[in-house]
């Protein structure tokens, strides 16, 4: 009876406030979740894997020792992916992280090209930002991937020590030097000789991943892999 009643209430509330597609704002039909079938089919999947070299790997060449990198989607301005990530970051829609993480995690596991990942570690937010937003937008994404890979999700080792926002007025070089100390490890022992998958929402220049990877490399013999929800396609060849 109670379940039935709550179904009715849900149906009524979805009539009053129809659920709309995060991609195109059309009303979702029964069975559609977050995005409509058209937008789902239009999602620009990279189809990159963890065995063949791709454009995400090339971002880090000569900069940082990343074993392998991969992104799930191409980010385009005003595209579906941008709208999805906007809901995730600014509209309290953590379900977007579930949606992408579950899909990507399942894909990675099914492909079978990456295994023996010990820890999945998110690019951290500064605690003030975390408090303001209430969640790290990468958390659910990383947790789903960790579950699929039988790895442990750890957000207590790699930490962001200062807020970079105040540095935007400074010159490029000054910013770079200050950014170097933005990320730190709570301890360097736990990750020694481990395979770590560093996860982020979007890779543009790769600067954030580079800084995080440098911090992670304080751990001896660590092997770093990278996975992101999206990558900016102007970096493609
Ligand atoms: Zn749509």
DSSP per position, 87-112: HHHHS--THHHHHHHHHHHHHHHHH-
In the chain, what are the domain boundaries?
Answer: 1-42, 43-236
Helices (H), the chain: 2-16, 37-42, 55-60, 80-90, 95-111, 127-133, 139-148, 172-179, 207-216
pTM: 0.86
The strand pair at 68-74 and 195-203 is best described as unpaired
Question: Residue 31 Cα, ligand 1 centroid: separation in angstroms?
Answer: 13
- What count of other Cβ atoms lies within 10 Å of the Cβ of residue 11? 11
Confidence of residue 237 (pLDDT cuts 50, 70, 90): very low
Protein fold of 43-236: Rossmann fold (3.40.50)
CA distance 153 to 139: 9
Question: Residue 4 Cα, ligand 1 centroid: separation in angstroms?
Answer: 29
Question: Residue 40 Cα, ligand 1 centroid: separation in angstroms?
Answer: 7
Lowest mean pLDDT among 14-18, 36-40, 93-97, 153-157: 14-18
pLDDT digits (tens, 9 = 90+) for 58-101: 999 999 999 999 999 999 888 999 999 999 999 999 999 999 99
Lowest mean pLDDT among 36-50, 152-166, 202-216: 152-166
Question: Residue 75 Cα, ligand 1 centroid: separation in angstroms?
Answer: 16
When the pLDDT of each residue in the chain is averaged and rounded to a whole number, the result is 88
């Amino acid at each position: 009876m109670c379940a039935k009643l709550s179904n009715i209430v849900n149906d009524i509330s979805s009539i009053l406030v129809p659920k709309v597609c995060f991609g195109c704002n059309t009303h979702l039909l029964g069975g559609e979740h977050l995005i409509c079938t058209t937008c789902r089919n239009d999602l620009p999947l990279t189809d990159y894997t963890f065995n063949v070299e791709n454009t995400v790997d090339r971002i880090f060449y000569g900069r940082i020792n990343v074993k392998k990198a991969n992104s799930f989607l191409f980010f385009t301005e005003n595209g579906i992916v941008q709208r999805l990530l906007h809901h995730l970051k600014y509209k309290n829609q953590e379900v977007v992280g579930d949606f992408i993480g579950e899909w990507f995690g399942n894909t990675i596991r099914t492909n079978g090209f990456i295994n023996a990942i010990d820890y999945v570690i998110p690019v951290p937010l500064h605690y003030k930002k975390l408090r303001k937003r209430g969640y790290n937008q990468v958390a659910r994404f990383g947790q789903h991937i960790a579950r699929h890979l039988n790895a442990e999700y750890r957000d207590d080792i790699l930490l962001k020590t200062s807020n970079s926002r105040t540095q935007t007025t400074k010159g490029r070089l000054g910013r770079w030097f200050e950014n170097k100390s933005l990320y730190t490890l709570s301890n360097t022992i736990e990750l020694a000789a481990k395979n770590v998958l560093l996860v982020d929402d979007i890779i543009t220049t790769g600067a954030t991943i580079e800084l995080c990877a440098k911090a992670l490399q304080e751990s001896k013999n660590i092997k770093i892999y990278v996975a992101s929800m999206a990558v900016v396609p102007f970096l493609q060849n």
